[in-house]
Chains A and B, each alone.
Chain A
Amino acid sequence: MAGKKYKSASRKRLINNTIVHIVLAILAIIWVFPILWVIMTSFRAEQGSYVSTFFPKAYTLDNYIRLFTDTTVLNFPKMFMNTLIIAICSCILSTFYTLAVSYCLSRLKFKLRKPYMNMAMILGLFPGFMSMIAVYFILKAVGLTEGALIRVALILVYSGGAGLGFQIAKGFFDTVPRAIDEAALLDGCTRWQIFTKITLPLSKPIIVYTVLTAFIGPWVDFIFAKVICRANSDQYTIAIGLWRMLEKEYIDSWYTCFAAGAVLISIPIAILFLCLQRYYVDGMSGAVKG
């Protein structure tokens, strides 16, 4: 009797497990399907966005080659260089800002600490695009919206808000033991030395995380770039370029190239993301716990 009961329980568990795994498999297919589809499109030989078959009829590498050689309408290599320059500069600036602000808020006691954190919270409630137009007017008044200076404008825009995104890095600095700081203070270190020689070397994960999120920003943002570049097509970043490839006048001839471009910028970001997942999770759960 007992054996029979045990058997039916284990059978029930087997059925449960099978159902769970099947459901997971279906969900996984739903989540991965669009990505597979864009990868296949990037190798498709037939042009145009509307196809009657799911799998391509012939495979080719021409889309990738065309992306880098055909610069008459949409200059992909130039956009790539623009984005790279902007990303590197804004990455350096905003990493410094984020780390400096989070260190101050985590370790130093000063009068404006709480007011600053409240201000950051309030500013976060305003829709970002509300000030976008005003930012454009300000940059225009300073004369940064013409020619190559657009790059400077974009660097300023991308690193401008860095001081407000301190939550994750602050959460990390909070976990570095304070006893080390105190010991260093007793030994006669200045706070600057503590910051550069003790805290920063201990915080490599969060530095890597900050650098990478700052670096990825310009590659994936397209609204600010669009508002600030307007019609200056030689200053476009990759995101605007890809967006334009899907506009009505280009979509028929550029659709497969769009897929190729999307795959190209996704690969490095995907690799970085998969490697850094852990820090992302740690940072988030730290921030959630407060």
Chain B
Amino acid sequence: MKLFGKKEKEFFEPYTCRNAIREGSGATKLSMLVMGFGNIIRGQIVKGLLYLAAEIAYIIFMITTGLHCLAMIPSLGSVQQEEVWNEELQVYMYTQGDQSILILLYGVATICLTALFFLLVWRGSLKSAYKAECLAKENRHLATFQEDIKSLLHENLHRLLMTPPMVFISCLTILPLIFMICMAFTNYSKIDNHLVLFDWVGLDNFAALFDSSSILGSTFWSVLIWTIVWAFFATFSNYFCGMILAIVINRKDTKAKGFWRFCFVLSCAVPMFVSLLIMRTMLQPEGAVNVLLRNLGIIAPDASLPFFTDPTWARVTVIIINIWVGVPYTLLQLTGVLQNIPGELYEAARVDGANPVQIFSKITLPYMLYVTTPYLIATFTGNVNNFNVIYLLSGGDPVTNLSSTAGSTDLLVTWLYKLTVDKQYYNIGAVIGILTFIILAVGALLTYRNSKSYKDEEAF
């Protein structure tokens, strides 16, 4: 809380909306209704007109389309598309029915637009009217429009530079997310044919997913458990293998360090989806690995190892392949951190007669865990959402229970993909997305708060 107070002070601003409403003159208060009025009477005509134009544009938009969109949100449309026999042309004509998905999309977009309008434009106009009033009272110079534009290159450079990326992020990341979260509370799915018209159903989807007696519920729990097991093993197997490999390569006595590093790095220079597809074809029942094993006589000539056909084999296989894919990256990332460990620590340990295992467990590991906690959290999160490895390697196969929608190597994300793209159960997919987020957010927050490097981060 202390930090928050400090931040407030750092950006102290006398021209707030609250002050404007409390102490502003009549003209300033009129700007709440007629935006830009306060600026125009103080001589900032272009700025005032721009605010006015924004207000008029918003009102026109709301009257022509916005209000209609908002009014449709509670019902999400009810007019069915119908066939009507056209006597003249002797054909069936289709009437334009309501499309709930578009109604929802336009509704969400209108709400976002309204929120943005009031938060940015309306408050901005009020503040600037109050500022103009105060400055005029104190007989200080009022910025002309040209000076305002110029300030975009200096004091307000962040506005110029941050606006375009923010527009993209709001349209392509935030708006879709809100839209998707809304979907979780509807019955938009192929079940009962709700793909064109759907309604709000409240928390029914969440209840269906948590009901462990249904197929959906039991699938959810098994997928969730496998996701956590996978993320745990994928993160730590990569972390330790990569770290040990980095230590071995950086050992004083290892010859040709550059060559070894090159061998491993080569495989992460190949695009990940290519190497994963290669691995998948190699591990097929008739793929290269089985052929090789047969030629060497390790397995019978007509036998093949069930890499992706047996659930346990498949799970172990994806974890091992993930080591193959991930260790070079870990090697690259950890090498730098390892070299930062103070050399005196090692020397002191060697003088005291510690063996390599002791040095590793008492010095290297604690130091690494301390420094790389944020990295580990990020990797864990990345692995929970690791779509590529599972989808490209096993595709979630093998499917053991034919009535469920997920295979035994499906993670929550690949299951989400299957449910939305293949099965078109959009609402359930959205619920899974929200639950994944909640699990990750809680997990990340707890580990982060408890980690030792948390305080250092804050200091930075």
Contacts and interface: CB of A to CB of B under 8 A. Distances in A.
Interface of A: 13, 16-17, 20-21, 23-24, 27-28, 30-32, 34-35, 37-38, 49-54, 96-97, 100-101, 103-104, 108-112, 114, 116, 122-135, 137-138, 141, 156-157, 159-164, 190-193, 195, 216, 219-220, 222-223, 227, 239, 242-243, 246, 255, 258, 262, 265-266, 269-270, 273-274, 277, 280-282, 284-285, 288-290
A66 B99 CA distance: 46
Contacts of B417: 129, 223
Interface of B: 7, 10-11, 101-102, 105-106, 153-155, 157-158, 160-162, 164-166, 168-169, 171-177, 179-180, 183, 245, 248-249, 251, 253-255, 260, 262-275, 277-282, 284, 286-288, 291-292, 295, 324, 327-328, 332-333, 335-337, 340, 371-372, 374-375, 381, 385, 387-388, 391, 412-413, 416-417, 420-421, 426, 429-430, 433, 436-437, 440-441, 444, 453, 456-457, 460
B295 A54 contact: yes
B333 A284 contact: yes
Contact of B337 (A37, A159, A239, A288): A288
B332 A280 contact: yes
Given A54-B292, A161-B173, A192-B157, A246 B282 contact: no
Interface of B is mostly: helix
A109 B9 CA distance: 13
Contacts of B168: 97, 156, 159-163
Contacts of A30: 324
A133 B432 CA distance: 14
B165 A162 contact: yes
Contact of B169 (A133, A161, A192): A161
A49 B460 CA distance: 54
Nearest to B291: A52
A54 B291 contact: yes
A230 B315 CA distance: 30
Contacts of B11: 109-111
A44 to B, nearest CB: 12
A98 B217 CA distance: 41
Contacts of B176: 131-132, 134-135, 138
Contacts of A162: 165, 168
A130 B433 contact: yes
Nearest to B248: A20
30 contacts: A21-B255, A24-B249, A27-B245, A37-B278, A51-B288, A52-B295, A53-B295, A54-B292, A97-B168, A101-B161, A104-B161, A110-B158, A114-B7, A116-B162, A123-B169, A126-B436, A128-B387, A130-B429, A133-B429, A192-B157, A192-B160, A195-B157, A223-B417, A262-B274, A266-B269, A269-B271, A274-B265, A274-B269, A277-B332, A285-B333
User: Which of A223, A239, A265 has the most chain B CB within a 10 Å cutoff?
Assistant: A223
A193 B282 CA distance: 55
B269 A108 contact: no
B268 A125 contact: no
A229 B388 CA distance: 18
Contacts of B295: 52-54
B286 A50 contact: yes
Contact of B270 (A108, A246, A269): A269
B281 A246 contact: yes
B260 A160 contact: no
A8 B364 CA distance: 28
A34 B416 contact: no
Contacts of B106: 141
Given A129-B413, A134-B180, A138-B176, A104 B266 contact: no
B260 A281 contact: no
Contacts of B279: 34
Given A220-B273, A288-B371, A37 B288 contact: yes
Nearest to B181: A130
Contacts of B282: 34, 37
Contacts of A101: 161-162, 165
B392 to A, nearest CB: 8
Contact of A133 (B180, B292, B327, B453): B180
Contacts of A282: 336
A163 B457 contact: no
Contacts of B429: 130, 133
Q: Which 8 A-B pairs have the closest CB atoms?
A: A163-B165, A160-B172, A130-B433, A285-B336, A134-B176, A270-B269, A131-B176, A192-B153
Contact of A31 (B10, B180, B328, B416): B328
A101 to B, nearest CB: 5
Contacts of A273: 265, 268-269
A285 B337 contact: yes
B417 to A, nearest CB: 5
Nearest to B338: A285
Nearest to B277: A246
A127 B437 contact: yes
A126 B387 CA distance: 13
A137 B260 contact: no
A103 B161 contact: yes
Nearest to B295: A54
